[in-house]
């Protein structure tokens, strides 16, 4: 805990008295909230939900209850070093009385879950809170050991429930992380480590739907590595895999934040350019084509490899595609024209 002065104040409170040095290491700033009240402020309201207890660092408070006649009866006062709100918290019942500040008051608020977490880490706290409960009953008409035992049992049950809740939260956190990892694996192409076809089709469907609804424009580019089968025949499939990975990373690096690229299949890649007119998509595609054409990939520290690409592109307005599949088909038609006209070129779809 970073605030040494607060530690000293805590150690003067009846809840933290006699805790060991080892137990002090479990004190955490996140467990405590310091709050201030002026005279007459309501700290706890009768019938409110019991979710926290308070440690009095400074001042005096009054415990009050509304009578049948509608008057306010002062039951007892509590001062610096004492605890308020512990019985209702343990009972899991609405507050049976109100707490009002009699003077300027400084309190430490401890949330229920934080209290029971500390009880599991600091055995002395449990001893202290049992002693406080016994002391409270000696000040009331309830003086039987059975009443004290009832609260001690409820204290144990609450502690068990909170511990189980924490464990469940921990396991849920692990499960959530694992699910994210599995989703990422399912949406990632294992060779190139960029997004795969499953991912890009999800994005394509959402983008197409949203852009139709809000009457916006987006473009897509279908990219194909030229003569890739021949390349594999000459250099081998391992070299082909190497070039696929390098080309995929190059495409990813060239795109803007908010654009998407994925391996669509084989040596094909699909790029989505949100909020992009066809003219700007052509500029992007040409920049990609030129960059790939100039790139030299050194394979096995000896062989220099080069490839070119053909690109077909379209947007969601050209030929009014009915869905994302029709739009990709239009891009594929443009890609076919690029290949037919000599490859290593950009062609925009023309209806």
Instruction: Please identify which of the residues 52, 86, 117, 267 carries the catalytic annotation.
Output: 267
pLDDT in tens, 65-102: 888 777 888 888 999 999 998 888 887 788 888 999 99
Query: Cβ atoms within 10 A of the Cβ of 194, count?
Result: 19
Nearest to 208 by CA among 199, 197, 217: 217
Residue 47: inside a domain: yes
The domain in which residue 228 lies consists of 197-348
Chain centre distance of CA 20: 36
Identify whether 333 is part of a domain.
yes
Domain end marker among 171, 206, 237: 171
Nearest CA among 49, 79, 81 for reference residue 63: 79
Q: How far apart are CA 199 and CA 137, in angstroms?
A: 64
- Give the percent of the chain with pLDDT over 90: 65
**Are residues 203 and 142 part of one domain?**
no
Residue 119 is assigned to a structural domain of this protein: yes
Six-digit token string for 56? 């009095």
306, part of any domain: yes
Are 265 and 309 in the same domain?
Answer: yes
Same structural domain, 8 and 153: yes
- 184 domain residue, yes or no: no
CATH of the domain at 33: 2.60.120.10
Per-residue pLDDT of the chain (351 residues; tens, 9 = 90+): 667 778 888 888 999 999 999 999 988 888 999 999 999 999 999 888 888 999 999 999 999 988 877 788 888 899 999 999 888 888 778 888 899 999 999 999 999 889 988 988 899 998 888 888 877 776 554 455 566 566 666 767 777 777 787 888 889 999 999 999 998 899 999 999 999 999 999 999 999 999 999 999 999 999 999 999 999 999 999 999 999 999 999 999 999 999 999 999 999 999 999 999 999 999 999 999 999 999 999 999 889 999 999 999 999 998 889 999 999 999 999 999 999 999 999 999 998
Q: Identify whether residues 95 and 40 lie together within a single domain.
A: yes
Do the domain assignments include residue 178? no
**155 and 51 within one domain:** yes
Count: domains in the chain = 2
Q: Are residues 139 and 260 in the same domain?
A: no
Quote the CA–CA distance of 281 and 272 in Å, as a whole number: 10
* Residues 126, 118: Cα–Cα separation, whole Å: 9
Residue 156 annotated among the catalytic residues of the structure:
no
274-328: pLDDT as tens digits = 999 999 999 999 999 999 999 999 999 889 999 999 999 999 998 889 999 999 9
Identify the burial level of 291 via C-beta atoms within 10 angstroms of its C-beta, where 0-12 means exposed, 13-18 middle and 19 or more buried.
middle
């Amino acid at each position: 805990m970073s605030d040494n002065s607060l530690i000293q104040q805590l150690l003067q409170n009846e809840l933290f008295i006699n805790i060991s040095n080892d137990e002090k290491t479990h004190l955490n700033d996140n467990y405590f909230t310091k709050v201030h009240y002026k005279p007459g402020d309501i700290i706890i309201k009768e019938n409110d939900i019991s979710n926290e207890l308070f440690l009095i660092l400074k001042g005096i408070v009054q415990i009050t209850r509304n009578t049948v006649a509608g008057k306010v009866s002062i039951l007892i006062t509590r001062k610096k070093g004492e605890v308020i709100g512990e019985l209702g918290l343990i009972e899991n019942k609405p507050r049976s009385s109100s707490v009002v500040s009699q003077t300027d008051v400084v309190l430490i608020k401890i949330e229920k879950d934080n209290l029971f977490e500390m009880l599991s880490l600091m055995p002395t706290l449990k001893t202290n809170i049992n002693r406080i409960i016994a002391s409270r009953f000696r000040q009331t008409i309830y003086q039987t050991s059975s009443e004290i035992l009832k609260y001690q049992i409820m204290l144990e049950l609450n502690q068990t429930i909170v511990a189980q809740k924490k464990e469940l939260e921990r396991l849920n956190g692990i499960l959530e992380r694992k699910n994210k990892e599995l989703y990422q694996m399912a949406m990632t192409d294992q060779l190139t480590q960029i997004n795969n076809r499953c991912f890009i089709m999800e994005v394509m469907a959402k983008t197409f739907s949203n852009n139709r609804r809000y009457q916006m424009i987006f473009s897509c580019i279908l990219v194909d590595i030229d003569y890739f089968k021949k390349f594999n025949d000459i250099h081998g499939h391992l070299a082909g895999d190497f070039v696929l990975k390098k080309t995929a990373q190059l495409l990813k690096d060239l795109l803007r934040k908010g654009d998407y690229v994925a391996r669509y299949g084989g040596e094909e890649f699909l790029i989505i350019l949100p909020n992009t007119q066809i003219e700007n998509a052509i500029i992007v595609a040409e920049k990609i084509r030129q960059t790939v054409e100039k790139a030299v990939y050194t394979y096995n520290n000896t062989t220099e490899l080069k490839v070119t690409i053909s690109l077909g592109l379209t947007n969601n307005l050209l030929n009014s595609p009915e869905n994302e599949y029709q739009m990709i088909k239009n891009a594929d038609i443009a890609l076919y024209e690029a290949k037919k006209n000599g490859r290593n070129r950009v062609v925009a779809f023309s209806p």
